[in-house]
Structure 1
């Protein structure tokens, strides 16, 4: 593989445009191709975002020997199928979150990637953002004592439409998998796996969750209160209280942001000077992994993705959400 990674995008929608914009800030990346079930849509995307090629068929793009890595940006319910298809063609895969619909699917994807000896990673872009890494490192260092509590939320108000991706059960609709994954991932990153999970939800006419409230309970009764909503706008912030400090990640905590750090003696805001939309950091990491010949991320590991989907499965079970 050359030093510049040729990326192909499978599913050129809204999130794919964000990823393509992020690639513009990655030195070792080239937006090479886009594939859709509609050639017209692929061509429109390629022209707008500057891709070299457009394909009206996923397999055609996967048969192109110039493609080094695939970014999968299709709806949740297709992640499993499309990841296996890409891995079958020995293409490195960065698959949008949630990795798949349940742990069984994620396990199958990981097992197949290992069998194919081909790189695979879940695209949890938040993990790679400077402010998020900074916060994680401070908490893990223990410098300011143990975590006492945590809160995180993500909500927006989307008009009800039974056919939309947000509310359509057949497309993996609902708040939990789409945006609830961010507060849950923050809890996993800052506190690890809980010993107990409690959850409640407000369901829609299409039997998906319009709102979800999960409580993660840790030893010594430390709790993380996690909220998501697709029918109510929330602040989209995160607060972690430690024994000797409080960390507040400003809205929107899951994308490039700043951190307010408060102790008994001082309070300051840490800025991180991110000029891109933030998607470049995960793409940069994947490029580095591929150039090093790795088949698994050293950061967004298979173990972490399995822990994340286990927690999502557990919350789904608590609120009675089945796909």
Structure 2
């Protein structure tokens, strides 16, 4: 691709400003060329505020415009498949907000459409591209800490229904596991391996969605794990923690999701603790940079293809073990 990567936004979201628009301004050969929203007045205001030159009357018009190479879809979970599939059928690459699909069947259909049309289907696990996660992964792989005995992840992000209606709406694919819960599932799979849920304890909301989940899992290598996630409103702060206990050490991380807002990264080899802090760009900057380079070179990304299906399968396995 000799011209800049042209990105269209499906959904005039606040998240797109942080995850796509701001990083694109810092990365060469990337342009945000068009936006579409549920209401055209919203898209017009959004385009003016964010210096986007074109507005589509609706999502379909953007997809069929010929003016974009990749679409970023930031819509309620149940709409991902419909608009992701249409974009792929029109030979566009697709970056889908996580989770890319609300279930295994939808993931398989989306991946089939991507394969048929020779387009990229990428799930927006932006944290994976930050140097912090690269360092954690390298510590696990280099062997100095031994093998993993246990995995523990806790992610608590209070989301009042009055401000996050879709997340609490069962018909729109709401619930904590189909929201922030997909993060620790992804961490577990990429740091330890595929797992089988043993038990899932769920706190259901009045709307019928899972508001808080604690899942106990077992990995193929014999390690055990706990995934503890909640979006239930309370007066506390957001909390994000990852712990790996290993045969010759340990790794502890705070704020793996958004380390550019501050993080702690500590690891122990034997009895000696070490610490490192990473400066630089946001997780979204590194993600968009990696996507641009992969589309240009044809290289594979760690958050596309079968990874999307495996994460959907793991989330569904946890949900299918629910008791509450």
Instruction: Determine if the TM-score, normalized by the shorter chain, exceeds 0.5.
Output: yes
Q: Which structure 2 segments of 5+ residues have no match?
A: none
Q: How many residues align?
A: 317
Structure 1 residue 263 displacement after superposition: 2.6
How does 1:3-42 map onto structure 2 within 5 Å?
Answer: 3-19=3-19, 20-42=21-43
Q: Give distance in 1, aligned partners of 2:199 and 2:141.
A: 25
Find the counterpart in structure 2 of residue 105 from structure 1: 106
Find the counterpart in structure 2 of residue 149 from structure 1: 150
Structure 1 residues 293 and 263, CA, compared in 2 at 3 Å: closer, same or farther? closer
Aligned with residue 247 of structure 1, among 251, 261, 273: 251
Aligned with residue 315 of structure 1, among 310, 315, 318: 318
Structure 1 residues 77 and 133, CA, compared in 2 at 3 Å: closer, same or farther? same
Find the counterpart in structure 2 of residue 284 from structure 1: 289
Structure 1 residue 222 displacement after superposition: 1.9
Structure 1 residue 303 displacement after superposition: 1.7
Find the counterpart in structure 2 of residue 237 from structure 1: 241
Report SS of the residue matched to 2:225: strand
Q: Which runs of 4+ in 1 moved over 3 A?
A: 160-163
Q: Does structure 1 residue 301 correspond to structure 2 residue 304?
A: yes
Q: Give distance in 2, aligned partners of 1:94 and 1:163.
A: 22
Q: Give distance in 2, aligned partners of 1:46 and 1:110.
A: 31
Tell me the TM-score normalized by structure 2.
Answer: 0.91
Task: Give the superposed CA RMSD.
Answer: 2.0
Structure 1 residues 34 and 202, CA, compared in 2 at 3 Å: closer, same or farther? same
Find the counterpart in structure 2 of residue 272 from structure 1: 278
Find the counterpart in structure 1 of residue 2 from structure 2: 2
How does 1:110-129 map onto structure 2 within 5 Å?
Answer: 110-129=111-130
Q: Give distance in 1, aligned partners of 2:79 and 2:317.
A: 21
Structure 1 residues 16 and 197, CA, compared in 2 at 3 Å: closer, same or farther? farther
Q: Give distance in 1, aligned partners of 2:16 and 2:49.
A: 12
Structure 1 residues 114 and 129, CA, compared in 2 at 3 Å: closer, same or farther? same
Structure 1 residue 258 displacement after superposition: 4.2
Find the counterpart in structure 2 of residue 206 from structure 1: 207
Q: Give distance in 2, aligned partners of 1:220 and 1:63.
A: 47
Find the counterpart in structure 2 of residue 261 from structure 1: 267
Structure 1 residue 162 displacement after superposition: 10
Q: Give distance in 2, aligned partners of 1:162 and 1:319.
A: 26
Report SS of the residue matched to 1:48: helix
Q: Which structure 1 segments of 5+ residues have no match?
A: none
Q: Give distance in 2, aligned partners of 1:34 and 1:219.
A: 44
8 Å CA contact retained: 2:213, 2:228:
yes
8 Å CA contact retained: 2:199, 2:322:
no
Q: Give distance in 1, aligned partners of 2:301 and 2:158.
A: 36
Structure 1 residues 64 and 311, CA, compared in 2 at 3 Å: closer, same or farther? same
Q: Give distance in 2, aligned partners of 1:195 and 1:318.
A: 10
